[in-house]
Amino acid sequence: MRMDKGVRHDVHKMRAFVRFRAIEHDGATWHVAWFEPEHHIVELNAPFFRDRFASMRWSILTPERCVHWDGRNLTFTTGVPKSEAPREDATEELWRTYYANIFNPARVKTKAMQKEMPKRYWKNLPEAEIIPVLLEEAPARVEKMLRESDAQIARGGNYSIAQPPLTNEWEKLREAACACRACPLWKNATQTVFGEGPRHAEIMLLGEQPGDVEDRGGRAFIGPAGQLLDQALTEAGIDRAKVYVTNAVKHFKWEPRGKRRIHQTPNSRDIAACRPWLEAELGLIKPRVLVCLGSTAATTIFGAGVRVLRDRGQVRESKFATKTMITFHPSALLRAPDEGTREKQYAQFVSDLRVALDCIKTPAGNSQLEHELAFH
């Protein structure tokens, strides 16, 4: 069964990674490719290439077996060294251009990519030359895509960009947010749920959006997730009354399921429309430590590419706070698949909150914790 799976996998890779190069042979154009299979699959795969490239003359060369199609017949010959294969032709640049255009920097998963396109094939793929550059440029390209998306949203449609008033008064800011119609979420929400806490809180906790209980009550983190947050803050030695809590999105996004209102994750347009309110809060509170609860909050602050499980517990700098970190959202702990996972992640959550507390104990200007720390 392992051999069968290996052969089928090799067949698939050959179909994906054969690259023909054009040469002139006996007055006609002939397309030649080089491939190094792991198994004896040339005869098995030949009919696929015959049917796929029936209108052109071609050869696929491998170290042990070669196949040729002259437009009428398939023939097989013994293998040849790689030196027999052409090195480059005019189509090389076309492959690189094509791959650069289909490469999506917002969906980079290096391990998954290397699993689908193992490095041992790269030496025979013209597009492989530009992969390192594309990976290096991916973060900057994602930032550009987000900026362009924000600008597109601002130009019209059901979404626009919120326009907070220029004020240093938190109450005026909250009142303006309650009248916001920048995105359609207000239509189904009971009310705007703005942040709350001391105006000069040293720690700000940033969540995703209000839940059902918060939407009805008008306050952030008062439902089941908020109760778990209160418990964790107490264990970490943090007084919630001294912490400012808010969300990236200020309205509850939900869908009906019977009589229940089921949470829906806000999309990038929801977050972009609401972002000015968050930035206004951050500018008003000026927290020393910003704690992102969950992936939506983390992406809002750091952009695409952050991962809660990988990046949690580290202290880094963001443009909103010199000490910014990522940890679990308490609602994610409530959804843990089993008790063991829940206990483990809850302990990590409390540990991360203790790191946040340690940050405000460090005198301002001390850069020791302004750099990334080891995982806790």
- List the one residue out of 81, 74, 95 whose CA is nearest residue 21: 95
Distance between CA atoms of 349 and 238, rounded to whole angstroms? 13
Neighbours of 248 (CB within 10 A): 24
In sequence order, what are the residues at sequence separation of 6 or more whose Cβ sits closer than 8 angstroms to the Cβ of residue 90?
A: 22
**Which pLDDT score is estimated for 106?**
63
CA-to-CA separations, 329 to 183, 221, 223, 227, in angstroms, rounded: 24, 11, 13, 12
CA-to-CA separations, 80 to 7, 20, 248, in angstroms, rounded: 21, 16, 61
**Which pLDDT score is estimated for 126?**
67
Distance between CA atoms of 76 and 203, rounded to whole angstroms? 71
Q: Do strands 74-78 and 260-263 pair parallel, antiparallel, or not at all (unpaired)? A: unpaired
**Which pLDDT score is estimated for 27?**
77
Kindly report the backbone phi and psi dihedral angles of residue 91, in degrees, each rounded to the nearest multiple of 5, phi listed first.
-80, -10
> What SS3 class is residue 204?
strand
pLDDT in tens, 20-39: 888 887 778 889 999 999 99
CA–centroid distance for 115 within its chain: 18
AA letter at 233: L
pTM value is 0.58
> Do 254 and 188 form a contact (C-beta atoms < 8 A)?
yes
| Residues of the chain predicted below pLDDT 50 | 156, 365-376
> Do 41 and 74 form a contact (C-beta atoms < 8 A)?
no
Distance between CA atoms of 200 and 286, rounded to whole angstroms? 7
- List the one residue out of 22, 29, 19 whose CA is nearest residue 90: 22
**Which pLDDT score is estimated for 45?**
93
Residues in the chain: 376
User: Hey, what are 277's tokens?
Assistant: 């309110």
**Which pLDDT score is estimated for 365?**
47
H helices of 179-322, in order, are 212-217, 224-236, 268-285, 295-302, 308-311
